[in-house]
Amino acid sequence: MFKAIIDNLKGLYSLLVGLFITGDFFLSPQKTTHYPRKVDDPETLKSYRGPLELVPADNYGNGKCISCQMCVRACPGHCLTVTKGDKGKEPKVYLYDFTLCCLCAACVESCPTGAIRFSHKVYMVAPTREALHLDLIADLKSRATKIDPMGTKAARLKVAKAEAEAAKAKADAEDAAKAKAGPAGSAGAPA
């Protein structure tokens, strides 16, 4: 009986404490960011996992990727498509399907050269699904033109050429994928 009374008085006191906590919150400044008018300090977004991006090796839009396919194999969602280029080790196609990605970082951890990382793109809007099928090489190039300290016309032309090549390579890859899917489908039908 007395224990129950004491317990209930303690409970009542804890309710009072709760009221003071919310009262304190009521008076303290707000924690949220009013998005279109304000944006977060980029420093606070450092730990945010946005869609993947390639790590630039220099300012000219070159990455560190060696097309070893480790990330492609590690990815549980099959989001990544990496095709080795004709010369050297650089990939000519690096496609990333953000709609399938679970942001697990298996790819980032498995990469031997540290070529990929998570971006901090918080304010991202996609009007269609297709807009989330990202071409990471093009993305890398686009960032390079912005950072490039020697943003000359020649450098921009070079980038544009590389981009055109990447787009063509992408189209090629898609054609190849279609060609691969075509015979498989016709072969599968009669069986």
Partner 1 sequence: MELSLLSFVQIIIACLLIIGLMVGNAVIMVYIERKAAGFIQRRPGPYEVGPRGTIQAICDAMKLLGKQLFIPGNVDWALYFLAPVLAFLPVLVLFLPIPFGKYLTTLQVDDGILLILAFAGLGVISNILAGWASNNKYGLLGAARAVAQSVAYEIPMIMALLAVVFLTGSLNLTAIVERQGTWPWEWNIAYQPLACFIYFVSLVGETNRAPFDLPEAESELTAGFHTEYSGMGFALFFLSEYANMLLVSFVCATFFLGGYRGPILDGFWWTFIKAYAVMCVIVWLRWTFPRVRFDQLLNINWKWLLPLSILNLWVTAIIIKFID
Contacts to partner 1 by CB under 8 A = 8, 15, 18-19, 21-23, 25-32, 34
28 binds, among partner 1, ligand SF4, none (CB under 5 to 8 A by kind): partner 1
Q: Which is nearer to partner 1, 15 or 171 (CB)?
A: 15
Closest to 80 (Cα-Cα) out of 65, 59, 101 = 101
Q: Which is nearer to ligand SF4, 62 or 155 (CB)?
A: 62
Residues in the chain: 191
Residue 127 C-beta: closest distance to partner 1, Å: 22
Query: Which residues on adjacent β-strands are paired with residue 53?
Result: 117
Residue 85 C-beta: closest distance to ligand SF4, Å: 12
Question: What is the chain's alpha carbon radius of gyration, rounded to the nearest angstrom?
Answer: 26
Q: Which two tokens stand for residue 31?
A: 């924690």
Per-residue contact string for residues 94-133; x = within reach of ligand SF4 by CB under 6 A: -------xxxxxxx--xx-x-xx-----------------
Give Cα separations from 11 to 6, 8, 14, 22, 33 (angstroms).
9, 5, 5, 17, 36
- Assess 140 for contact with ligand SF4 (CB under 6 A): no
Distance CA 160, CA 48 (A): 30
Q: Which is nearer to partner 1, 26 or 189 (CB)?
A: 26
